[in-house]
Every structure is written in structure tokens, then in C-alpha cells.
Chain A
């Protein structure tokens, strides 16, 4: 097992640093190009969620991202330093007429994560929230 650790301040510009890391890690373990794109988007959404909703963009609070490279899978853990979240909604959300009229233009991130990775889970406490994403290597059980 190998690990890559990235810590960023809660500034959205540094989400791009994590995304670039996801790209490199995805290539290093031989994910197919379309799976790397899925990985980058899922990680981007999780990190932005940690920055915005976990740490409320307080730059002094860090978002920690750990890429764990296993024989059968890549696991990505995204941890914020917020006060925890009671519930994370992964339900399907799409653009529709009602949302457009109501000015509800956000909230696709969690659905995209759940649809793009093989599995994901969230654990939360008063010390922060950890979102774990998993992508299995081709040929391994999901």
C-alpha cells in the first residue's frame, strides 16, 4: 500500500492542486483516461464541499486529502476541520424547469460523486467530516 497526502488551505484555488494530484495518481496506477476524468471530478466536488460546507472557506482550516493506493483499488479520503454534518444527500439531482425558475443552480456535486465512483461513504463528528471515495482497478471485485 502506498499513500499520497495533500493538505490545502480552504481556498477554492487550491482545489486545482488536489485535482492535479488526482490526475497524477490516476495515471500512476493505470486507470483508463475516462476513469481518471471521473476521479478528478469526484475529488473536485468532495474538496469543494469540504472547503465550502465543512470549513466555510476559513483559510486557516485545512482540507486533508489522502490517496491510498491498494492492489485492488484507489481510496481517496477527504477530511475537513468543520463541526460535522448531520446528513449528506447523494440523491440524484438534475437541471429542470422548476430549479431554473427558482434560481436553484447548485447542488449537483454529491450526486455526481456517487455516480462517478464505485462507492463512497461519509463519516462525521464534531471534529470534522471525512468523505471516502473508492475506485476499483479493472478486474477486481466492486
Chain B
């Protein structure tokens, strides 16, 4: 499934959501939130293309955190830049969406 900002890939229990916008901000937030459907037991957000995240974007990402918690699913972040890792740590987002390496997903493919 593809929409404006998220390209979705599924295998086994995993949903891998590639964020394909460079800016996770007030403009892209609505489309990102709209992609928060049909989460899988392991949902991974891929930030490989993301160059910028602000607090409006963090608010949109929190929809995924809430949805995962309600379903008892695991949520991970992948390909997070060092700067965004710093920001996620500052607001303690990383506690609810820890990072995962691409190689760790290989077992599920």
C-alpha cells in the first residue's frame, strides 16, 4: 500500500513502513497519521529518507506509539540519523520506539 508519505512493506508478522518524505513536520503529519492503520505485531518505521523531524512530526509519530501499545505490538525505528536519535532521546521517544537494525529484520523475511 502506498500513500503520499509512507510506503508499506509486509512480511510475516512485520509491517515495515518506509517514510518517504524528507520532512516529518506539520505539513506531512496528517498523511503520516493516516498511515497508522493495520499495524502488525512488529511494526518498524524506516527513517532512512527523513532529513528533518520537529515536534509536530513527533506528535504524528506518537499515534503509532499509542496504537502499538493498545494492541500489545512492538514498534521500532530504523535508519535514524544521529541527530534524530538525540532528539528522540531528549523527549524520551526512544523509550517507546527503540531503534532496530535492518539486519535484525532478516530473520522475519
- Which A residues lie at the B interface, using CB under 8 A? 12-13, 15-16, 19, 34, 37-38, 40-41, 44-45, 48, 93-96, 100, 103, 105-109, 111-112, 115
Given A95-B92, A100-B69, A112-B91, verify A41-B62 contact (CB < 8 Å).
no
Main secondary structure of the interface of A (DSSP, over half): helix
Sorting the interface of chain B by its residue count into under 10, 10 to 19, 20 to 34 or 35 or more gives 20 to 34
- Which B residues lie at the A interface, using CB under 8 A? 23, 25-27, 52-56, 58-59, 62-63, 65-66, 69, 82-83, 87, 90-93, 95-96
Q: Tell me which of A16, A38, A40, A106 contacts B55 (CB under 8 A).
A: A106
Q: Tell me which of B26, B27, B54, B93 contacts A41 (CB under 8 A).
A: B54
Does A100 lie within 8 Å of B66, measured CB to CB?
A: yes
Residue of A at shortest CB range from B33?
Answer: A105
Given A95-B91, A95-B95, verify A108-B55 contact (CB < 8 Å).
yes
Does B26 lie within 8 Å of A109, measured CB to CB?
A: no
Which 4 residue pairs are nearest across A and B when measured between Cβ atoms?
A94-B92, A108-B55, A12-B26, A109-B55
